[in-house]
Structures are given as C-alpha cells and as structure tokens.
Amino acid sequence: MTNRIRQSANNDSRPSPLRFLGTALAFSVLLLAFHVKADTEVPQFHQRVQASPFEFSTLDFILFGAFILLAFELLQFLVQNSGDWLGAKKIPVRGQHLDDFRTLDHTFISFNKLATVPFVYFFFRYAYFEPNVIWDLDNITLYNSVIPVPVLIIVYDFFYTILHWALHIKAIYGYIHKHHHRQKAPSRANADAVNVHPIEFFLGEYNHLMALFLCCRCLNIQFHVLGCMLMIAVGGVLAGLNHTRYDIVISILGLHIYDSKVHDVHHRVPQSNYGQYIMLWDYVFGSYRPYDSTDRVNKMSQLDPKTGKSLAHMKRLEKQKL
C-alpha cells in the first residue's frame, strides 16, 4: 500500500519530463512532415525567414510554437536533473513546500508556457529590425555574442528588481504576486518558476525585450542574434535553478555572481533578494539578505526523493489510507 501511495503521489507531483518531451517531439515531427509537404506549393520556409518575420505562414507560426514549447520542456528536464548530474548539494527545506498544485496552479503554468511563444516571436522580430543586432554568422565574435550578455542581464535585473519590489507592496501583493509565494520551498524548477499570475509573467518576460532595446538604443551596444539567444537560454536556466533545491553557486575570481540559495531565502523572507539572476541591485538598494545555513531545519519538511513531496505530507497520506 505504501508503494502505491508513493507512486500515486509521484504521478501527481512530478510527472515524467520524458513524457512531455515525447509528446512534444511527436507533435513537432508530425507537424514538420505536414509542413514540408505543404511547402511544395508556397515559397520555401528558409526563404520566408530570410525575407522577414512578417512572411511567416500560418503553418510556420504553428511549427514555431511547437518548437518553443518543446524547448521549454527540454529546459525543464535539463534544469530539474542538472544538480544530480553535477553532484550538487541540496538546500534543506525550511519553508512550507507546496506539495499539491491546485487547478489554478496548472492553469497559470499552462497559460504562461503558451505565452512564451508570442514573447519569443516578438523578441526576435524586434531583433530582426534592430540595427545593432547582427544576424550574419560570418560576423559573430566574442565581443558581440558573449561579452555583452552580462550587461544585458544587469540592465534587465535593474528593472526586474524594482518590479519585484513593487509587486510586494501590500496594496498590490494580494492580487498578483501572492500566488507565487504560496510555494515557500520551490523544488520543481521551471514549473515553479512560471507558476505566477499571468500579469507578472508578462511583465517579467517583456522586460527582456525592454532591456535589449535599452542596451541597443541607449548604450549603443551591438549584439549578435546568437548573443540574444544566449541571454534567453541563460535566463531560463538561472530562473529554473532558482526554483530547485540545488545549491548552485557561480563565482568569478572569488566573487559570487549567482547563488540559487538567495532566491530560496526570498521565498521564505519575501522582503529581500528581489533580483532575478543577480543580487547586484539588492546590494545597491539594501534589500540583500544572505543565506544562513544555521537556520532551523525541520526533518519532516524535507522532500521525499521518490515523490518530490514533503515527508509530513506523505505521512498524512499514509495515515489516510490506514
């Protein structure tokens, strides 16, 4: 009976990423086959892309959306398992883990995943027409692909930190951001990361586009389009790692650039650590709160590795079945 309880909880709490990947991949392959056949009667796909994003056909948009959703599920799978592959330590659970998603949680997650598709389209459509974004692969260098990305992240996080702080204002908090803070010990990677009110998701996502605009137009920085893609990919990975139990620290010359534990602190102590990727602006604004490894740990709050739910929750389920 205990095994059945664990298996049931596992199915509800941590559905296999491979199932999503298989479904998305099968859908993409079928759609691609249909699209290739249909392409015999219209200009070829690569010609339309080279001409302009406005030349996309209806099938192009559908295929584009399918691949973005596939990439999202791949990202979820990679981030959720990356800590185990890297042998990373686990952050002990100190807040209350959200063991079961409600219908509203699933609705917000699904809606926000779908909303990622138009965001990516608009992001790269802007990049297509931006004079300071280079698309020619022959002109890619470290100076326009990798080196400018930290600047883009710093600009992004400046506005995100202010936005995040504003969402914690008492008069606003209950309507939008409170939903995300029902989870006080995030563990599901990108699924927990996008479990936010759609308004919050919209503001956070399109902040990337504003950051690119400001870097290109105000700072006159040139980006290669692969650098823009790198920014989106790095952002997705770091946002996902923020919502795992993995203790991941990225340091350069002894300086901590990124630390997943500080966002875990934010979920327990909301009036702190408002940054998304870095804590630079929290240092500047005085809202930084370091992780304290001596904080009390409740053994029953820790997560069952087989189900991803708290031991206290599993114990309650077992009692209910007796």
Q: Mind spelling out the 3-state secondary structure of 87-148?
A: CCCECCCCCCCCCCCCHHHHHHHHHHHHHHHHHHHHHHHHHHHCCCEECCHHHCCHHHHCCC
Confidence tier at 69 by pLDDT (50, 70, 90): confident
pTM score? 0.87
Average pLDDT over residues 218-236: 95
Average pLDDT over residues 140-144: 95
Tens digits of residue pLDDT in 85-114: 999 999 999 999 999 999 999 999 999 999
Single out the residue of 114, 107, 99, 131 nearest to residue 222, CA to CA.
Answer: 131
Lowest-confidence region among 9-13, 52-56, 104-108, 300-304:
9-13
DSSP 39-99: GGGS--HHHHHHH-GGG--HHHHHHHHHHHHHHHHHHHHHHHHHHHHHTPPBPPP-S----
Confidence tier at 30 by pLDDT (50, 70, 90): low
CA distances from 20 to 76, 141, 214 (A): 10, 36, 36
> What is the crossing angle of helices 149-167 and 198-217, to 10°?
140
Single out the residue of 117, 18, 135 nearest to residue 63, CA to CA.
Answer: 117
Question: Whole-angstrom Cα distance, residue 113 to residue 117?
Answer: 7
Confidence tier at 8 by pLDDT (50, 70, 90): very low
Percentage, residues of the chain above pLDDT 90: 71
Which of the two residues, 284 and 56, has the higher pLDDT score? Answer: 284
Which of the two residues, 57 and 275, has the higher pLDDT score? Answer: 275
pLDDT of 222 reads 96
Q: Find out whether 291 and 281 touch, Cβ atoms under 8 Å.
A: no
pLDDT of 4 reads 43
Q: Find out whether 88 and 247 touch, Cβ atoms under 8 Å.
A: yes
pLDDT of 260 reads 97
Which of the two residues, 75 and 322, has the higher pLDDT score? Answer: 75
pLDDT of 5 reads 42
Backbone torsions φ then ψ of 222, nearest 5 degrees: -95, 135
Tens digits of residue pLDDT in 182-205: 999 999 999 999 999 999 999 999
Place of tokens 């327990």: 268
Count other C-beta atoms under 10 Å from residue 26's C-beta: 10
Question: Whole-angstrom Cα distance, residue 153 to residue 161?
Answer: 12
Confidence tier at 266 by pLDDT (50, 70, 90): very high
* Pair type for strands 249-252 and 255-259: antiparallel
Torsion-angle region of residue 242: left (phi > 0), alpha (psi -120 to 50) or beta? alpha
Residue 40 confidence (pLDDT) above 80: no
Q: What is the DSSP letter of 307?
A: T
Residue 9 confidence (pLDDT) above 80: no
